[in-house]
Amino acid sequence: MSGLSYVCFLVDESGSMYSIRKSTIKSINECSQELTREGQCLFSLFTFNSNEMESDNGNTIRIRLDCISNMDSLDYTYCPGGRTALFDAQMKAIEHIEERITKLPDAEKPSKIIFATITDGLDNDSVLYSADDVKLKIQILSLTDRWEFMYLGANQDAFEVANNIGIPSHNSIQYIASDEGICSAIRTTSQMIYSSFHEEEGTTDRPTLQTLNSKSKST
């Protein structure tokens, strides 16, 4: 294992995200810079919708940033439109990461993989996979202790949705689909991930996403 962490954000690029697109981009860029600045993390950004004929892998997800470090450019396209094929995107993104990591030499494999889904709506267009498929995949990977999953959702009961796909409620955030809401949710997620880089081995009292988000709202 390399000792590095690998962080992937899977971000909704459907039409309903258009009104908060600038804040979404700004927050993701700030998060990427924060997490990679000490050289402990590689960061990837995948986006998803289901209205375009062309994509990086032929269906649903687009790889905007792929395993970048603090020395790499943050230049990418984010133009919301179309529908929300959430389950298809989650499965395809996870499979892409698994394939990439499998090909790495053992010494370069990340010690921790953190996968965060950010969406402002429920799945309304998946054709290949269901919530049960995603849940089974996440449960299997979570057993390895190398994978950790997070869910940030608006316009829904994010805690229930997270639970339905195998993500514990303490690793989920219910945010308001506004500029302030998306910024706060991504900032809180960044804080939690960053704190995990500095925790001592065996630590069991790391603050959860819910705890950090509650503190953020009260300040």
Greater pLDDT, 166 or 39: 166
State how far the alpha carbon of 180 is from the alpha carbons of 78, 120, 150, 156, in Å: 19, 14, 20, 17
Report residue 122 as tokens: 């429920």
Distance of alpha carbon 175 from the chain centroid:
15
Percent of the chain, pLDDT > 90? 76
pLDDT for the residue 53: 45
| Ranges 55-59, 85-89, 167-171, 181-185: which has the least confidence | 55-59
What is d(CA 12, CA 83) in angstroms, rounded to the nearest whole number? 9
Domain boundaries, the chain: 5-218
pLDDT at 182 over 80: yes
Classify residue 156 by burial, with Cβ atoms within 10 Å: 0-12, 13-18, 19+: middle
Looking at domain 5-218, does it have CATH number 3.40.47.10?
no
Q: How many CB atoms lie within 10 A of CB 136?
A: 13
Q: What is the mean pLDDT of residues 152-172?
A: 97
pTM over 0.75: yes
What's the token pair of residue 156?
Answer: 């829904």
133-149 per-position pLDDT tens digit: 999 999 999 998 899 99
